[in-house]
Amino acid sequence: MKVLVVKETRAHEKRVAATPDTVKKLVALGCGVAVETGAGATANISDDSYRESGAEVVADIAAVSDVDVLLKV
């Protein structure tokens, strides 16, 4: 199963749909996780934190194929 976490676009939205801890849990369950570059920036979560948790950080979400679940606040 492939999960995609996207950046929030609504003005003043500081939440993100998944944290690095959430990503670790999804990866442990066998999911592939992709996170849009900067998705956690407003929540003070770096792209490197997502990478360390097992996610692939992608700049172009349109290039991510075969997504089963899209996470967004």
Confidence of residue 21 (pLDDT cuts 50, 70, 90): very high
Which residues contact residue 65 at a Cβ distance below 8 angstroms, ignoring those fewer than 6 apart?
Answer: none
Q: 10 Å Cβ neighbour count for 23?
A: 23
pLDDT in tens, 31-51: 999 999 999 999 999 999 999
Whether pTM exceeds 0.85: yes
Task: Report whether 19 contacts 40 (CB < 8 A).
Answer: yes
Residue-level pLDDT at 38:
97
